[in-house]
Amino acid sequence: MSDFAALNTAFTGLDVHRRRIDVIGENIANASTPGYRRRTVDLSAIEGPNGLGVFTGTDRAGRGVEIRSISRVIDPLLEAHVRSETSRAASLGIQAEALNELEANWASFGDSGISAALRDLGAAFDDLVNDPGDTAIRAIVLQRGDAVAAAVRDAHAAAIDVHNGLDGRVDTVVDRVNSLASSIAASDANIIAARAAGADAASLEDGRDALIDELTSLVGGDVRYDDNGGVSITLDGLRLVGDGRAATLSTARVADAALGVHGLDRVEVQTDNGRTLTIRSGDLAGTLDAANGLIGEQLNDLATFAQELADSYNTAHTAGAGLDGTTGRSFFDATGGPGGFSLHADVAGDPTAIAARGATAGSLDTTVAEALAALSDSPDGPSAAWDQLVTELASVTAGAMQRANTAGQTAAAAEAARTATSGVSLDEEMTELISAQRAYEASARMISTVDEMLNTLINNTGLVGR
């Protein structure tokens, strides 16, 4: 190897390891940057020609060192696992949150709500037993009955509010999905162009991956990377992102028999050609499942309870007679469902219409009032039925919360594994930095050594210039 060839070899070492130090410095600077993927420098020897000798024009095998690539540290399997688990946790979390909100709103075991209203109604009928002819006590019975009806309507309104909140959330999430898809498509085009031009697209890819992470947490989807650096995201057969373009999703409300009885519509997500998408994971899936299924099931349970509540009081009340001797009057009206639950027109506004005695008994008989008072404490009466309903809701909510917590822990573990693989370790980077510095210093020392050799040859041997 000639002296000048040695200088060239040393120069390549200086240049390569300077750039290597720059990459390590970028890693250290971004150690705490969310979404940053560690960069690594892949080095390779600059190979000489296939043959050596006089007629090949060279007599040396190598020509120094070069950077083959600067790449991000990515584990595709871990990336897919993190997105899958995060999407699943988001779906379960939304469902648990909706059920928890409904359970809190119903507040059945507190000092307010249906349980308390039924206890107060039972106490009012107890008072009526003591003085069946007192119209003031009868007025209190009507007030307490109206409070029960209002509590049932409030429970229904609370469930409707939860549903409407979920319904509106679908619109918000779909708008965000459309925005993310457009941003990913735009980033995709920039990354493909940058890589085609030989530029470093790592920062662009980090930004795009952060957008993809958010998108998959909302709707899931199948993410695939192309050889040219592009990405394709498929959702229920729809190519949501691909070839630098993004599809647009929309929401629609359609009639649904199960929800229609509560005055609600089913909310769906559709493509631009009107096809309904099946969203299987992510925030949007959980929102749709809660709005179209879970809350509807609780409304059905509430409707069943309201009907049984009315039936239990009406059965006892219609068998008795009011102060005017009229029988067959109903106490509650459940024909409008829980949202229209009210005192029946037979008794509303008329305390004398309340039945306290049997149909053929004397005016001092209180058998019907006693039966109505006993309903609040009956083990199979309305109070027990309501307690069972909310106990079942609490059980469903607890199960949903447990599943959501477990999924969240799994997602966190997957994220930790990804960070361990793709994140920056300061200890590891400092070790790499020392290695790069030593290599840089060695290349610099080689140049100074060759310089000293040339100086000796030129100035001290007396051979140069003769």
- pLDDT tens string, the chain, 466 residues long: the values are 455 677 888 888 889 999 999 999 999 999 988 889 999 998 888 876 655 555 555 555 457 888 888 888 989 999 999 999 999 999 999 999 999 999 988 865 556 789 899 999 999 999 999 999 999 999 999 999 999 999 999 999 999 999 999 999 999 999 999 999 999 999 999 999 998 888 888 899 999 999 999 999 999 999 999 988 899 999 999 999 998 899 999 999 999 998 999 999 999 999 998 999 999 999 999 999 999 999 999 999 999 999 999 999 999 999 999 999 999 999 999 999 999 999 999 999 999 999 999 988 887 889 999 999 999 888 889 999 998 999 899 999 999 999 999 999 999 999 999 999 999 999 999 999 999 999 889 888 988 888 788 788 777 765 555 5
How is residue 262 written in tokens? 């509560």
**Residues contacting 458, CB < 8 A, separation 6+:** 464
Strand partners, 242: 245
Q: Decide: residue 66, CB within 10 A, 0-12 exposed, 13-18 middle, 19+ buried.
A: middle
Any idea what DSSP says for residue 292? I
Q: What is the CA radius of gyration of the chain?
A: 39
The Cα–Cα gap between 2 and 214 comes to 57
Measuring CA to CA, which residue among 35, 43, 40 is closest to residue 428?
40
Measuring CA to CA, which residue among 202, 194, 247, 249 is closest to residue 69?
202
Give the start-end residues of each E strand in 185-259.
222-225, 231-235, 238-242, 245-246, 250-254
Measuring CA to CA, which residue among 267, 261, 270 is closest to residue 299?
261
**Residues contacting 393, CB < 8 A, separation 6+:** 99, 102, 103, 106, 298, 301
How is residue 190 written in tokens? 């920039």
pLDDT of residue 282: 96
Strand partners, 245: 242
Measuring CA to CA, which residue among 264, 329, 334, 335 is closest to residue 306?
334
The Cα–Cα gap between 378 and 309 comes to 12
pLDDT of residue 27: 92
The Cα–Cα gap between 53 and 128 comes to 120
How is residue 72 written in tokens? 């991000």
pLDDT of residue 6: 79
Q: Which amino acid is at 71?
A: S
The answer to whether the beta carbons of residues 419 and 34 sit under 8 Å apart is no
The Cα–Cα gap between 228 and 215 comes to 22
The Cα–Cα gap between 276 and 250 comes to 10
How is residue 241 written in tokens? 């992102």
Q: Decide: residue 459, CB within 10 A, 0-12 exposed, 13-18 middle, 19+ buried.
A: exposed
Give the start-end residues of each E strand in 338-439.
342-343, 357-358
pLDDT of residue 242: 92
pLDDT of residue 4: 67
What's the whole-model pTM score? 0.84
pLDDT of residue 456: 80
pLDDT of residue 56: 52
